Structure 1
């Protein structure tokens, strides 16, 4: 009980020290609020409000139908222009897409010929251009096929050569029906930031004691290095766990309007288990670094690859087999796996318990190594 009491009161001292550090406090607030919001929008892979103009040299029912199917939010309503204005309007970035429908287009389609529709794309807007071209091709092809099917009886003799696809592909997207990038990037941003802040806060707590000269004061007190390290782990872990829960509820659910399929308390329980591993990495790096700049450099070498290769940015299936096999031994990979299972797919504890068990086992192993290293360094310093 005496040891637990020491860990508790040292942890409260760590919390007071954290809340008095404006820089670290601001970093936590920014990381779990504005940074998540920006990450949810800045990496969007969807098309919004694409500007479309068209030149209709056919003036037919089919050409009017083709232009009527471009609707918000993907595209703005198409604007008719003359062919002589195409170059000027695209040079001034007035429109990203300009569609040119040739004369007798409807007649050629119903006659079984293969007329061409010209789509001019401003490729300086790379993401919009790439996505928009694919959308336009799919929209126009679908509308033309529907028009031919409706007029097949009237123009049977002229449409008998029209090619039809023998198979219809029905795609059903699970968990993210509209394939919204923000649904994925915002939640994965929280997952990555948990690793980042756990390492930085735990490491900074040790380095700060050394830089301020208060580590010697702690070592002459009737407390052990184990109690000092554990107090910093629970205090900083509590800050990150609370910040993660608030970020999911306020930023993700209320501000970004992103639904969370699973249990947030179950996810926070997994975060708490994972924090033993992440804070252990921070303490271990702090025993090597002599200053905050050195800790930052070590973080780049250790945590950045761990985050990038964990599956939060690139699926493990897209990595080389050797690399994906190696990353399966990292708790960060299993953290991403159970976070996606809980928050995206609504998985319960009966499904994610193997990841919880692996993270707990490796986390305790790394924590023991970090505490041994910290005890050795503390004794040498004393």
Structure 2
């Protein structure tokens, strides 16, 4: 059956496509260089971990206890002490105009409250124009203040955020000991790189497949192929197979060469399952590219049409934002997205 399917006409067409890819250096470069650069950039930039948040401080206490708290915040890589301020108004102005991203106000009675066994309160002011940075910085500050509070006697220290007092911490309580599965070190690149690989499999295969077919139409060779003895199925398979093989090489470079070597993403599961999923993504992307090429007459039209398909595929994949954070009516749409299942 396979011998009948791989007829001499099909093999001749596939040989022609392989030779064309080998001669066209632009196709080879577009299959390797842009995806590799994008994976390197996105793997390094798309990081939910916040570091070097510019911190301004008002230390109205001026005691060793307050300086120890400031040192704990400064030692962590999350915050970078920028400067000290004299008044809350100056600190608030600095936060609002962006000179600092967060501000810590330690009241004058900080040491006295600790010595008398009362809960000491510090105020933490955040610039929430970037809501994600503000939320993560708040979490980091809570962790530092909580760790500092465990080292003092009495109820400890309570951080008041955004000028609104929260619930008062009580002595004793419950301690949480988290256990992280699959990513014990919480390396953001492990999630980002794998998601970007899925994105590139679809987006690059869509672009390459549509461009190849549109180029054939613009050159007039597609009409010559249709007039040849080869069937429509043989023409389509001969077009897809060489592109699929070249894209598989791209996946190997992205997953093994960059994901594993550069970013250290572990490869603990089934190698066959990973590349089988990538192959399905590539076939899905090639199918989308062929679909676009049937409705467009030029490369310019193909690029315009891809703007209406590729961004929704990327944002509805779960690789950029969690699917659980999307509206309930939009979540079922993600099930038809090939990248979501990668």
Normalising by structure 2, what TM-score?
A: 0.80
Cα distance change of structure 1 residues 312 and 88 upon mapping to structure 2, 3 Å threshold: closer
* 1:295 match: secondary structure: helix
Given the alignment of the two structures, is residue 75 of structure 1 paired with residue 79 of structure 2, yes or no?
Answer: yes
Verify the 8 A CA contact 1:245 1:264 in the aligned structure 2.
no
Alignment correspondent of 1:52: 55
Alignment correspondent of 1:218: 225
Q: Which residues of 2 match residues 30-45 of structure 1 at below 5 A?
A: 30-45=33-48
> Normalized per residue, which structure has more strand?
2
Cα distance change of structure 1 residues 37 and 26 upon mapping to structure 2, 3 Å threshold: same
How many residues are aligned here? 325
**Pairwise CA RMSD of aligned residues?**
3.3
Give, in angstroms, the shift of residue 108 of structure 1. Answer: 0.6
Give, in angstroms, the shift of residue 236 of structure 1. Answer: 0.9
Verify the 8 A CA contact 1:123 1:129 in the aligned structure 2.
yes
Give, in angstroms, the shift of residue 150 of structure 1. Answer: 11
> Normalized per residue, which structure has more helix?
1
Give, in angstroms, the shift of residue 188 of structure 1. Answer: 0.9
Structure 1, residues 327-351: CA drift from partner, whole Å, max 9, x if none?
A: 43x261xx533x3xxxxxxxxxxxx
Given the alignment of the two structures, is residue 132 of structure 1 paired with residue 137 of structure 2, yes or no?
Answer: yes
Alignment correspondent of 1:111: 116
Verify the 8 A CA contact 1:277 1:331 in the aligned structure 2.
no
In the alignment, which of 213, 216, 230 is matched to residue 206 of structure 1? 213
Measured in 1, the distance between the counterparts of 2:280 and 2:31 equals: 20
Alignment correspondent of 1:249: 256
Cα distance change of structure 1 residues 140 and 268 upon mapping to structure 2, 3 Å threshold: same
Unaligned runs of 5+ in 1: 152-160, 340-382
Alignment correspondent of 2:21: 18
Give, in angstroms, the shift of residue 214 of structure 1. Answer: 1.1
Verify the 8 A CA contact 1:98 1:119 in the aligned structure 2.
yes
Measured in 2, the distance between the counterparts of 1:79 and 1:303 equals: 42
Measured in 2, the distance between the counterparts of 1:331 and 1:9 equals: 34
Give, in angstroms, the shift of residue 237 of structure 1. Answer: 1.0
Unaligned runs of 5+ in 2: 157-167
Alignment correspondent of 1:147: 152
